[in-house]
Amino acid sequence: MDPHARTQVFVYGSLLQGEENHHFLQSAHCLGEDRLLGLRLYHLGRYPMIWWGTGWVKGERYQISLQLLARLDELEDHPHVYHREWLQLHSGNHAWIYVGRPELVQGYHYLPEGDWRQRHRLDLDRTSVDTGG
């Protein structure tokens, strides 16, 4: 693997600046905030998951090494829990994104604002639950 090869990743949960796993991105270059359209953000307790649906997800785009991408694959338990997809963001840029599985979000609350950092402000009893229907 070329140690100088770079790619981009879009993060929306525990890897965001100020969140518990951001230290994994210590060597990464933040390219700024972006949004992902056509997916929903779900609150699974300690961490989020996204799945296809009407909505958008707010996050950050990073330039990272391929070695770091491999470490993130381990962190995200790719391909067993999350799978990684190369998707276009609202800005027109493309990035790797960790997408969940429909059976894992079923029964959990989705965050209509699409912002993981706002999860503490939400009354989870009043947000929508995905029933799989």
Q: Which residues are catalytic?
A: 76
CA angle 124, 32, 110 (to 5 degrees): 15
Residue with tokens 């599985």: 101
Q: Are strands 48-65 and 83-88 parallel, antiparallel or unpaired?
A: unpaired
In a 13 Å sphere around the CA of 108, the CA atoms on its Cβ side amount to 21
Structure tokens at 65: 């090494």
Within 13 Å and on the Cβ side, how many CA atoms surround 44? 18
3-state secondary structure of 102: helix
